Amino acid sequence: MQTLTVSLADRSYPIHIGNGLLSQVELILPHLKRKQVAIVSNTTVAPLYMQTLAQPLRDAGISVIEIILPDGEAYKNSETLQTIYDHLLQNRCERNTTLIALGGGVIGDLTGYAAATYLRGVPFIQVPTTLLSQVDSSVGGKTGINHPLGKNMIGAFYQPKLVLADIDTLKTLPQRELSAGVAEVIKYGLIRDADFFDWLETNMSALMALDTAVASYAIYRSCQNKAEVVAVDEHEQGERALLNLGHTFGHAIENAMGYGVWLHGEAVAAGTVMAADLSQRMGWLNAAEVQRIKTIMQAAKLPIEAPDFGAEEYLRLMQLDKKVSDGRIRLILQQAIGKAVITADYDADKLQQTLSLAA
Ligand SMILES: NC(=O)c1ccc[n+]([C@@H]2O[C@H](COP(=O)([O-])OP(=O)(O)OC[C@H]3O[C@@H](n4cnc5c(N)ncnc54)[C@H](O)[C@@H]3O)[C@@H](O)[C@H]2O)c1
Ligand SMILES: O=C(O)C(=O)C[C@@H](O)[C@H](O)[C@H](O)COP(=O)(O)O
Ligand SMILES: [Zn+2]
């Protein structure tokens, strides 16, 4: 097992990464304030992993409430959130009851937001079971739900007490979901870690095959990058926005296509290629660098062409992005592989050209 720390003063927490962690109750017990937990999962993950996590807790004398939600991005909404509150209230969960998110990013974001708001805040633990959630969403404390008009529009920054990433759970993950997670792994290489990008180019087929050493290293290095960024800019006043590479385009795709039609990671991949295209138009990336970005996405079986629903509709949706400032869309663009910037200083006509080229 490897351990990293997200350093946030008295809210610092460990990320444990390794095999067979779900049943290692001794990793969880020190973080519980009360002998009661509510595990939130979904109809896909619960049959696979609920009892592996819940039984050792029960054996250790912990009362375990199971909350099982419908599966899918389309359920990351206020109605599902209400269902979580209903269960917590019906079971008389208290301020010191810990919520445990067992699942991918949808479960993590929903559970984290429920924890941030139930009784004005209860402790929570992330047990991510997708590659995407192990490398990104379980770390850093962004929690929330979608609104029909925009992605993640309602939420809170609220840090977990612990992240437990059990690599064994990835064995049951469908390939399409694995690819979606790789999109966020590639992101770290592109925004701040050129050596990692080089390493990913060499090791992509082993990562896609979930070679243990390669997958462990990719998850560790991704979490290390994310933890470093979050530690210096928890509330996205500056550098943290780099973690949004491809997301202004990607969130527009997710919303326009209907939540869940394009997976988050797929939309981020196509959005990252759009950001690279605009960066090239601005003279910041050369053609060879853009080709490297497309090639690595294709090696991960990710889309490199965005859907065409019209430049005007892209712009309308992108105006809803949380990074918009004084009405101006701010984008994460590349100055090199391994170096990204947040900027409103791009040519609007060139953005229009990038958007018009969507497939
Ligand atoms: N909070 C953040 O910082 C952050 C970061 C990135 C993404 N996100 C959010 O995360 C969500 C995407 O997360 P995701 O890609 O994990 O999607 P997801 O949570 O929908 O999980 C993907 C699918 O895999 C299933 N699944 C999960 N674990 C499994 C396993 N071990 N075996 C078999 N099936 C399994 C799920 O039930 C689901 O059907 C989006 O809503 C995105 O906005 C949040
Ligand atoms: O942690 C962050 O910061 C990120 O931006 C990570 C992203 O991968 C993630 O998709 C996040 O939920 C997007 O945040 P949003 O603020 O653009 O909704
Ligand atoms: Zn993301």
CB 226 within 8 A of CB 142: no
Separation of CA 136 and ligand 3 centre (Å): 7
Same domain for 167 and 181, yes or no, is no
Same domain for 84 and 229, yes or no, is no
Render pLDDT for 289-323 as a digit per residue (tens, 0 to 9): 999 999 999 999 999 999 999 999 999 999 999 99
Same domain for 165 and 180, yes or no, is no
| Residue 128, CB-side half-sphere exposure with 13 Å CA sphere | 28
Matching residue, tokens 């500056």: 238
Separation of CA 145 and ligand 3 centre (Å): 13
Same domain for 150 and 253, yes or no, is no
Residue 75 is assigned to a ligand binding site: yes
Same domain for 78 and 165, yes or no, is yes
Residue 337 is assigned to a ligand binding site: no
Same domain for 155 and 194, yes or no, is no
Same domain for 130 and 24, yes or no, is yes
Catalytic residue among 221, 226, 292, 330: 226
Same domain for 158 and 245, yes or no, is no
Same domain for 166 and 48, yes or no, is yes
Q: Calculate the alpha carbon distances from 308 to 250, 294, 297, 357 in Å.
A: 13, 18, 19, 8
Q: What's the CA gap between 162 and 290, in Å, rounded?
A: 37
pTM for the model stands at: 0.98
Pairing of strands 98-103, 36-42: parallel
Q: What's the CA gap between 329 and 315, in Å, rounded?
A: 9
Which domain, by its residues, includes 14?
2-172
Same domain for 165 and 199, yes or no, is no
Render pLDDT for 71-108 as a digit per residue (tens, 0 to 9): 999 999 999 999 999 999 999 999 999 999 999 999 99
Decide if 35 is catalytic: no
Please say whether the dihedral angle defined by the alpha carbons of residues 102, 107, 108 and 110, taken in this order, is positive or negative.
negative
Identify residue 47 by its one-letter amino acid code: P
Same domain for 229 and 334, yes or no, is yes
Q: Which residues, 6 or more positions from 243, have their beta carbon under 8 angstroms from its beta carbon?
A: 136, 140, 187, 191, 226, 229
Residue 59 is assigned to a ligand binding site: no
Is residue 358 predicted with pLDDT exceeding 90?
Answer: no
Separation of CA 177 and ligand 3 centre (Å): 13
Ligand 1 pocket residues where CB is under 6 Å: 42, 44-45, 48, 71, 73, 76, 103-107, 109, 129-130, 132-133, 136-137, 140, 142, 152, 169, 172-173, 177, 180, 264-265
- pLDDT for 357 equals 78
- pLDDT for 359 equals 61
Q: Which of 172, 207, 227 is the last residue of a domain?
A: 172
Q: How many domains does the chain have?
A: 2
Separation of CA 132 and ligand 3 centre (Å): 8
Residue 5's Cβ-count burial label (10 Å; 0-12, 13-18, 19+) is exposed
Q: Which of 103, 137, 172 is the last residue of a domain?
A: 172
Same domain for 148 and 182, yes or no, is no
Domain CATH number, residue 165: 3.40.50.1970
Domain CATH number, residue 195: 1.20.1090.10
Q: Which of 124, 143, 172 is the last residue of a domain?
A: 172
- pLDDT for 82 equals 98
User: 3-class DSSP state for residue 162?
Assistant: strand
- Closest listed ligand to the CA of 318: 2
